[in-house]
Chains A and B, each alone.
Chain A
């Protein structure tokens, strides 16, 4: 079965091509085409995953291009990690395709929307199947294009256009670093193949400084894609896109691509303690930083966006603490419960036509299906025992502790507490209490939207049982099977960590309940006690302002100093240079005057210059 894995990305590609050509003609049939084809992808992915359980890694490749002695190959590979990713991506994509049928109902550009979804899914599946860095990079960029198109889907909205641009440019900063890292690796190893890169790393043919440098450059690429600090601010803005897109791209798949890249390149990272440390610190800091911003956001999707940034930070922390299994495990569970939360949030927005949580409230009685579904997602992400998020988060905490990062461990515990708090704050404000806005016309979403959520809810509850301290670490053993560089399938940690994680999560929920549901603590109980801290967090640590302020201020001071210097010395010089360049451009435009004499003169002058230089230098330049 695995030799047919290449067919998986082709279904969504076909969907993209069909819909881009015939979309207008087919109109309302377009969603069914998209659903059918992504479902086919999912089925094949599932078969491939099952096949991978019994068989070793399958890899097929052919020479794509030969440049001099270097050979570039193209192909695909099915190993444990990407077999798992294939299923996650195609499943979430299929569910989002289905959900969008209801959510985008009535939009006249629905066929365009589905074609973009197809393009994105194709790119993401292609990224996952790539056996070498170059191919990964090409799909990596294509994924960015898909994301750009989907964020800017409502291109008539200024914010959407700006957000699409911001997302594209900020991730591109990371991509440049990734590109440089990739070229450096190619220069050192002479190949883009993962296998050969890992082989050279373990054989020690690359200097350790070079490993650290390339690992960090690749990590910067992952930072851009996965919205890690300091390249995170595009992700909340990307919420301008349609909500199903947020669920697919900005929760379950594309943003996880950064984590996936670090996981794929894990042997390189594992060879450099400094690189691992960087990953861990950036991850832990992002986890707590984004969680604290999430505490005060008022837009339902922005809370979820910051929570995504924070959870991705957890995954990075896990990978940076040599917890390969923990990172991948959390990537899996997070994909399910975060997609569920986004879809449920979409269902809420679909019902009340606002994203402001201050205007919601009391929706539990109105949305009899969405409410419980949202609660399941919230419980899972908060790390309440027995749900999937509990197991994967516990795994991360254990990995961090065992690796000896005490401070990062503390940060992670605090972030976990905040997660429980802001998620239940969100839940109580949206579903609890009395309605604060007009809720008379609120209707539950159609089945086509709720069914995908039920599937995700099921997974959000039970996906954790593939890797638990009680029933065996099936996932971990499988993932690390036959590859010692990835570490152990299961890391044994002290039992009190699990207790502590449970305690902080319950504490966070209790605090949220006291403030937002029982109201025994006033809502500004926290903010009045620490007004400055509240303001700081509310303004997202002034990151956007910081960029703006420092750059503008520094520039203006600099310009004043420079002005004096400029007026006296530079101005004169500039006048000279501009006069020279205008003269040159005038000369240039006069040269192309249609006069054949001039053309001859230019040629003669050119020859004369070359010959004179040769004569003066005696042949050496």
Chain B
């Protein structure tokens, strides 16, 4: 590659990534050389500003797609932009939580790292969402993973945090190994790592054995990626890690990391496997393996919702609830309806706001509590009606009650599952049934918040960034619940049903 080719690329497509990368470099240097006494929170605000700047540049990139640079390894299409918007909003809100995060043993020594590791993780997911090559995809994935391993263990003097980090690393390594193993089959058969070339090579396969191997590879990739989205059978780390990790990190994992998981799933499914014929040769491989995905989706919804019933720690409860939501999202993936991408985009967006809002409320309401038991929330309505009502709205949305964005998201998934041929009515009814189960644990918390007496009088101190997060999340949840077409119009207006991605 000579200089001329290098300069001929449209590097502007990578501006958001460059902004984040640049700020990461600056931050790490600043953190190293600034005196101890310097208030590191300013670094947090700088990171926040960089995320907002990246978000704005992403918006300016709309419409000028697709751009493919670096020998098709980096690809900016409408799909990438749409999901980068979600990732950046999620990361920005999580960053606000991180700025106001004050664990009891103080974080001062590592506060700088805390912020720029968030940014490297974010950089990883952004690269993933734009990758046109399995190598880039994998590098992005690892950048995200390694950064988040450290983030989970950020509270070095707090044992549960260490434990979480350990478990997360080990499970993550297993998952990565499985994913890579699956990818290696695909590479072995197609002889390339570039997604576009792969699709062409695999579409022309006629050997039965190769197709069979590809089916195996598909299952391995699915199971490996189940780790990132915390779906069965790779869901068990979630409660332990969510519980021990610092709260902003938990929020980041359950929102940004999960979104990243779905991004790779869609990239690989549509980019690679959709083009492969199945063993009978007259259908797509992905459609004939739908039942495997359906089993995973069903089991994920069931396990997430049923085990959540038994939790007394709210972070663990939310971990199971996040497993359950991964199950709902997998229903959309399984159904593979023509509007799957927009369904997933809307649901992940709605999920982002409701989940981050809930975590922000937990951070404000129970910042002193060591273990965040549901009991801690008893009588919250008396000490802070604002927090209580916000929590109620967000939980109603998580439960999928009409009038909230969560309902619209579920409705989309439900309609998607019923609109395809064959109809996935078993999954659709399972979605409804498990949603009903989920009412029990959401409403149990709300009952404690509104009807029980507080255990002791606690004074709640509001930190402005967290309040901004809560208000914004509640507002978006309600607005998208009442006027969902704002989001869909934006999507249709700017991305034209993702034509340049699907082709």
Chain A residues packing against B (C-beta within 8 Å): 63-68, 70, 138, 588, 591-592, 594, 596, 598-600, 602-607, 610-611, 613-614, 618-621
Contact = CB atoms under 8 A, between A and B. Distances in A.
B291 A596 contact: no
B402 A67 contact: no
Contacts of B215: 614, 619
Nearest to A62: B485
A596 B220 contact: no
A63 to B, nearest CB: 6
22 contacts: A64-B483, A65-B484, A66-B485, A67-B411, A67-B419, A70-B415, A592-B239, A596-B166, A596-B237, A599-B167, A603-B171, A603-B226, A603-B233, A606-B223, A607-B220, A610-B219, A611-B219, A611-B220, A614-B292, A619-B288, A620-B279, A621-B292
A408 B278 CA distance: 63
A619 B488 contact: no
Interface in B146-190: 166-167, 170-171, 174-175, 178
Given A65-B408, A68-B338, A610 B170 contact: no
A606 B233 contact: yes
Interface in B282-296: 288-289, 291-292
Contact of B237 (A66, A599, A614): A599
Given A603-B234, A606-B233, A614 B216 contact: yes
Contacts of B234: 603, 606
Contacts of B170: 596, 600
Given A64-B484, A621-B291, A603 B278 contact: no
Interface in B271-326: 278-279, 288-289, 291-292, 307
Contacts of A611: 216, 219-220
A596 B337 CA distance: 37
Given A68-B338, A618-B279, A620-B279, A610 B488 contact: no
B9 interface: no
Contacts of A588: 307
Given A599-B171, A602-B236, A619-B278, A68 B408 contact: no
A603 B174 CA distance: 9
A384 B337 CA distance: 63
Contacts of B237: 596, 599
B212 interface: yes
Nearest to A618: B279
Interface of B: 166-167, 170-171, 174-175, 178, 211-212, 215-216, 219-220, 223, 226-227, 232-234, 236-237, 239-240, 278-279, 288-289, 291-292, 307, 337-339, 402, 408, 411-412, 415-416, 419, 483-485, 488, 492
A66 B342 CA distance: 11
A605 B233 contact: yes
B233 A607 contact: yes
Contacts of A606: 223, 232-234
A591 B485 contact: no
Contact of B292 (A65, A605, A610): A610
Contacts of B288: 619-620
A600 B172 CA distance: 10
A145 to B, nearest CB: 11
Residue among B178, B233, B416 with max Cβ neighbours from chain A (10 Å) = B233
B488 A66 contact: yes
A89 to B, nearest CB: 22
A599 to B, nearest CB: 4
Contacts of B232: 606
Given A63-B485, A599-B237, 18 more contacts: A64-B484, A64-B485, A65-B411, A65-B488, A66-B488, A66-B492, A67-B339, A67-B411, A588-B307, A591-B236, A599-B171, A600-B174, A603-B175, A605-B233, A607-B219, A610-B223, A614-B292, A621-B291
B175 to A, nearest CB: 7
B71 to A, nearest CB: 33
If over half of A's interface residues share one DSSP class (helix, strand or loop), that class is named, otherwise mixed; here it is helix
Contacts of A619: 211-212, 215, 278-279, 288-289
A600 B173 CA distance: 10
B383 to A, nearest CB: 18
Residue among A67, A600, A613, A618 with max Cβ neighbours from chain B (10 Å) = A67
Contacts, number: 93
Contacts of B220: 607, 611
A592 B223 contact: no
Given A592-B239, A607-B223, A618-B279, A65 B233 contact: no
**Nearest 7 A/B pairs, CB to CB:** A606-B233, A621-B291, A599-B236, A619-B279, A607-B223, A68-B339, A67-B415
A66 B415 CA distance: 11
Contacts of B289: 619, 621
A138 B219 contact: no
Nearest to B170: A596
Nearest to A609: B233
A598 B236 contact: yes
Contacts of A599: 167, 171, 236-237
A138 B482 CA distance: 12
Contacts of B240: 594
Contacts of B236: 591-592, 598-599, 602-603
A594 B234 CA distance: 14
A600 B235 CA distance: 10
Nearest to A64: B485
A317 to B, nearest CB: 35
A571 B124 CA distance: 57
Contacts of B178: 603, 607
A37 B239 CA distance: 50
Nearest to B175: A603
A594 B174 CA distance: 16
B326 to A, nearest CB: 14
A68 B239 contact: no
A596 B415 contact: no
A588 B237 CA distance: 14
Given A606-B232, A610-B219, A619-B279, A68 B416 contact: yes
B42 to A, nearest CB: 38
Contacts of A603: 171, 174-175, 178, 223, 226-227, 233-234, 236
Contacts of B492: 66
Given A606-B233, A619-B215, A621-B292, A67 B412 contact: yes
A599 B227 CA distance: 11
B236 to A, nearest CB: 4
A90 B122 CA distance: 55
Given A606-B233, A619-B278, A592 B485 contact: no
A52 B454 CA distance: 55
B219 A68 contact: no
A63 B485 CA distance: 7
B141 to A, nearest CB: 17
Contacts of A605: 233
A463 B412 CA distance: 47
A75 B445 CA distance: 35
A607 B167 CA distance: 19
A619 B290 CA distance: 11
Contacts of A138: 402
A138 B292 CA distance: 36
A65 B491 CA distance: 12
A606 B411 CA distance: 30
Contacts of B167: 596, 599
A614 B219 contact: yes
Contacts of A610: 219, 223, 292
A18 to B, nearest CB: 16
A599 B241 CA distance: 12
A65 B412 CA distance: 9
Nearest to A187: B418
A598 B174 CA distance: 12
Contact of B415 (A68, A594, A600, A614): A68
